[in-house]
Amino acid sequence: MKRHELIVIGAGPAGLSAAIEAKKNGMDVIVFDENQRPGGQLFKQIHKFFGSKEHHAKTRGFIIGQQLLKEAEDLGVRVELDSTVMGIYENKEVTVKQNGEVHHYKGDAIIIATGAAENMIPFKGWNIPGVIGAGAAQTMMNIQGVQPGSKILMVGSGNVGLVVSFQLLQAGCEVAAIIDAAPRVGGYGVHAAKLARTGVPFYLSHTVVEAKGTDRVTGAVIAQVDEHFQPIPGTEKELDVDTICIAVGLTPMSQLASNATCDMELIPQKGGHVALLSEYGETSVEGIYCAGDVAGIEEASSAMIQGRSVASHVSMKAGYLTEDEFESKYQGYQEALGQLRQGMFAPKNKGRNDFTETDEGYPISKTLLAHGYMTEEELSKFPAASYQKAGIHPVIECTQNIPCNPCQDACHFGCIKVGENITRLPAIDEEKKCTGCGLCVASCSGQAIFLVDETYEEGFASVTFPYEFLPMPKIGDKGKAQDRQGKPVCDAEIVGIKKTPIMDKTAVVTMKVPLEYVHAARFYRAEV
| Tens-place pLDDT, residues 275-321 | 999 999 999 999 999 999 999 989 999 999 999 999 999 999 999 99
pLDDT given at position 353:
84
Separation of alpha carbons 234 and 224, rounded Å: 9
Fold of 2-117+250-340: FAD/NAD(P)-binding domain (3.50.50)
Matching fold, domains 2-117+250-340 and 120-246:
yes
| Tens-place pLDDT, residues 481-502 | 999 999 999 999 999 999 999 9
| Tens-place pLDDT, residues 417-433 | 999 999 999 999 988 99
pLDDT given at position 354:
87
Ramachandran angles phi, psi of 153, nearest 5°: -100, 125
Closest CA to 497 of 443, 448, 441, 413: 441
Strands (E), 99-242: 101-112, 116-118, 131-133, 151-155, 174-180, 202-204, 206-212, 219-224, 237-239
Please check the confidence at residue 154 and state whether its pLDDT lies above 80.
Answer: yes
Fold of 120-246: FAD/NAD(P)-binding domain (3.50.50)
SS3 (DSSP) at 338 = helix
CA dihedral 25, 29, 35, 40 (to 10 degrees): -10
Separation of alpha carbons 190 and 307, rounded Å: 28
Domain ranges of the chain: 2-117+250-340, 120-246, 373-526
Label residue 322 by pLDDT band (50, 70, 90). Answer: very high
Q: Where are the alpha helices (DSSP H) in 147-238?
A: 159-170, 189-196
pLDDT given at position 109:
98
pLDDT given at position 436:
95
Q: For residue 129, is the peptide bond before it cis, meaning its omega torsion is within 30 degrees of 0?
A: no
| Tens-place pLDDT, residues 326-339 | 999 999 999 999 99
Q: Which residues pair with 417 in a beta bridge?
A: 427
Q: How far is CA 143 from CA 41, 44, 182, in A?
A: 11, 6, 31
Q: What DSSP designation does 143 have? A: I
pLDDT given at position 527:
83
Please check the confidence at residue 5 and state whether its pLDDT lies above 70.
Answer: yes
Helix H, strand E, coil C: the string for 238-294 is: EECCCEEEECCCEEECCHHHHHCCCCEEEEHHHCEEEECCCCCCECCCCCEEECHHH
Q: Please compute the mean of the pLDDT values over residues 164-180 and round it to a whole number.
A: 98
Label residue 387 by pLDDT band (50, 70, 90). Answer: low
Give the chain's mean pLDDT: 95
User: What is the distance, to the nearest Å, from the Cα of residue 364 to the centroid of all Cα atoms in its chain?
Assistant: 21
pLDDT given at position 208:
98
Q: How far is CA 126 from CA 133, 229, 232, 265, in A?
A: 11, 18, 20, 30
Label residue 370 by pLDDT band (50, 70, 90). Answer: very high
| Tens-place pLDDT, residues 46-84 | 999 999 988 999 999 999 999 999 999 999 999 999 999
User: What is the distance, to the nearest Å, from the Cα of residue 212 to the centroid of all Cα atoms in its chain?
Assistant: 30
pLDDT given at position 54:
87
SS3 (DSSP) at 61 = helix
Q: Please compute the mean of the pLDDT values over residues 237-258 and round it to a whole number.
A: 97
Separation of alpha carbons 492 and 525, rounded Å: 9
Please check the confidence at residue 217 and state whether its pLDDT lies above 70.
Answer: yes
